[in-house]
Amino acid sequence: MKSVLNQIAISTFICIAALYCYNCWFQPEPIIIERAPKNNASFVDFLLDKQIEPHFRAAAPDNFIRAAEHSRPAVVYIRTLEEERSWRSEQERSAGSGAIISPDGFIVTNNHVVENGQELQVTLNDRRTLNAEVVGVDASTDIALVKIEADNLPFLVFGNSDSLTVGEWVLAVGNPFRLQSTVTAGIVSAKGRDIDILDMDYGIESFIQTDAAVNPGNSGGPLVNTKGEIVGISTAILTYSGRYEGYSFAIPSNLVRKVINDLREYGTVHRGLLGIEGSSVTSEQIEELKLDKVAGVLITLVFAESGAADAGLKKGDVITGVNNKKIGTMSDLLEQVGRYRPGDEIALTYARKGIIKNATVVLRNQLNTTDLVTVRRDKILTELGMEVRDLILSEKRKTDLEGVKIISIYKGSTISKTKMEPGYIVTRMNDKMIKNTEQFISELKKAKGRIFLEGYYEEHGGPWWYAFDN
């Protein structure tokens, strides 16, 4: 009996010793079940933190609910109407979208949405329809500002289009095919695109290209970022069928904001000019220009006594930066300079024979002064194809004549077909003296049929006559 107890004690001791040794030297590794990262957590956070909530996302964001909910109530449907004389009824001339940018009813849209109608109507997201008035338009950027009489409206704010990067998510909001408040998503495909649709002097094309679906009716609607801020205004599609085929284009919000501020404050856009002509640098030119990459704007002409001339710029210089922003193409340069008014100073970086230089340029207006001269771009003028202004005091003193000066003439327009040139000063219309722009526009609105203009050029004298049908 005693031997049996001894054997049991020895066996128990051996088992306890074995378990002790196993726990000390043969402890198995714990099994860790990793959880997916929280929303917006990075992959590094995922590796470092094993206690994150289980909800893995391949990319962020994976929905645009907040941006859509914020932007849709502030997007409107715009249509222009004209009277059918034969039936005494109204007919829709064009339609598009717009974005409310203030609680008291200011709306930004495209110029081509509102330019051809006698009456303007806006339908809000709550289905109310209100009459609207055009505050001002800018054909050179295809932007228009309209106003409705209403209060406490939902509105959108402008974001920073400069901060957009290729590959970033954006939403196009609008009314394609009259489908109210439609939201489509895509990415920024490119920036600074020039697609040659603004065929006029001083036209600015530096579009944001996106693959968000945009169709007829989206024109004038906002392109918004994932915060619901306006980063562009949809204006065109690249298509062979007349419908969406993969790419659409929007005017950058930073340019839109400047145009809208001018229209709201002055009724017209005051655009600062460098005083040069140029072109984007090509790969064939970089060796001759001693550049290390294909980027910049080659100056081909510097206008005498312009801001660029006063700053020391010369033909053959290559502009590479404006206010610390890199300039890759002519579109980039036009967009950046287009944000400033006459009298503003900008800092230029340029290359001359491979040497980087800096200059400060004071921008001028079309008259080569720093004055904020009001140029009239009323609908009746742009339909005929011209922009006009009152004579300044120095011009009146030269001849002691009143009149209005033709500043710009649109290519292919009624006025361009008369062979008139910019700089023409109108002194008479249908044998009636013209003293200022208000009278000139009033007489144009009243005139029917053939119109005869009499005037002169400062350089060539006069009189010169032109005729066209209104």
pLDDT digits (tens, 9 = 90+) for 374-390: 778 788 898 899 988 88
Greatest mean pLDDT among 78-92, 176-190, 293-307, 392-406 lies in 293-307
For residue 40, the cross-strand partners are: none
Residue in the block written with tokens 């001028």? 364
- Distance (Å, whole) CA 253 – CA 86: 42
Whole-model pTM over 0.85? no
Active-site positions read 112, 142, 219
Q: Which alpha helices (DSSP H) does 291-417 contain, by range?
A: 307-310, 330-337, 379-384, 393-399
What's the confidence (pLDDT) of residue 455? 93
Average pLDDT for 165-190: 88
82 vs 158, more confident: 158
- Report residue 452's pLDDT band, with 50, 70 and 90 as the boundaries: very high
The mean pLDDT of the chain is 81
Quick check: 160 and 166 in contact, CB under 8 A?
no
DSSP 259: H
414 vs 215, more confident: 414
Burial class (CB in 10 A: 0-12, 13-18, 19+), 455: buried
pLDDT tens sequence across 397-443: 777 778 999 988 888 899 999 999 888 999 999 989 998 888 999 99
CATH class of 63-269: mainly beta
Give the number of other CB atoms < 10 A from CB of residue 92: 11
Tally of residues, the chain = 470
Is residue 451 predicted with pLDDT exceeding 50? yes
What percentage of the chain has pLDDT greater than the value 90?
A: 39
Is the bond preceding residue 463 a cis peptide, omega within 30 degrees?
yes
Average pLDDT for 340-368: 90
- Distance (Å, whole) CA 188 – CA 226: 12
Is residue 181 predicted with pLDDT exceeding 90? no
Q: In terms of Cα–Cα distance, which of 84, 148, 137, 135 is closest to 115?
A: 137
Quick check: 96 and 237 in contact, CB under 8 A?
no
- Distance (Å, whole) CA 2 – CA 142: 110
Which residues, at least 6 apart from 23, have a Cβ–Cβ distance to it below 8 Å?
none
- Distance (Å, whole) CA 418 – CA 414: 7
Is residue 85 predicted with pLDDT exceeding 60? no
Is residue 316 predicted with pLDDT exceeding 50? yes
What's the confidence (pLDDT) of residue 372? 73
Token representation of residue 444: 């144009």
pLDDT tens sequence across 192-211: 877 766 555 566 778 899 98
Same fold, 63-269 and 379-469: no
- Distance (Å, whole) CA 111 – CA 139: 6
CATH assignment, 276-362: 2.30.42.10
Which residues, at least 6 apart from 417, have a Cβ–Cβ distance to it below 8 Å?
468
Structural Rg of the chain based on CA atoms: 32
Core vs surface per residue 154-190: b (16+ CB within 10 A) or e: ebbebbebeebeeeebbbbbbbbeeebbbbbbbebbe
What's the confidence (pLDDT) of residue 88? 43
35 vs 83, more confident: 83
For residue 106, the cross-strand partners are: 147
3 vs 161, more confident: 161
Is residue 250 predicted with pLDDT exceeding 80? yes
pLDDT tens sequence across 28-74: 444 333 333 444 444 334 333 433 344 444 445 667 888 999 999 99
Residue in the block written with tokens 């024109």? 219
Quick check: 221 and 183 in contact, CB under 8 A?
no
Q: How many CA atoms lie within 13 A of 246 on its CB side?
A: 3
Q: In terms of Cα–Cα distance, which of 138, 141, 154 is closest to 99?
A: 154
CATH superfamily membership of 379-469? PDZ domain (2.30.42.10)
Token representation of residue 451: 């119109």
Core vs surface per residue 294-325: b (16+ CB within 10 A) or e: ebbbbbeebeeebbbbebebeeebbbbbbeee
Lowest mean pLDDT among 69-83, 163-177, 197-211, 355-369: 197-211
What's the confidence (pLDDT) of residue 18? 62
Residue in the block written with tokens 């993969």? 246
Lowest mean pLDDT among 130-139, 264-273, 422-431, 437-446: 264-273
Give the number of other CB atoms < 10 A from CB of residue 281: 24
Angle, CA 85 vertex, CA 81 and CA 89 arms, to 5°: 50
What's the confidence (pLDDT) of residue 13? 63
Per-domain residue ranges of the chain? 63-269, 276-362, 379-469
Distance from the Cα of residue 240 to its chain's centroid: 23
Quick check: 467 and 418 in contact, CB under 8 A?
yes
* H/E element, 213: none
* H/E element, 392: none
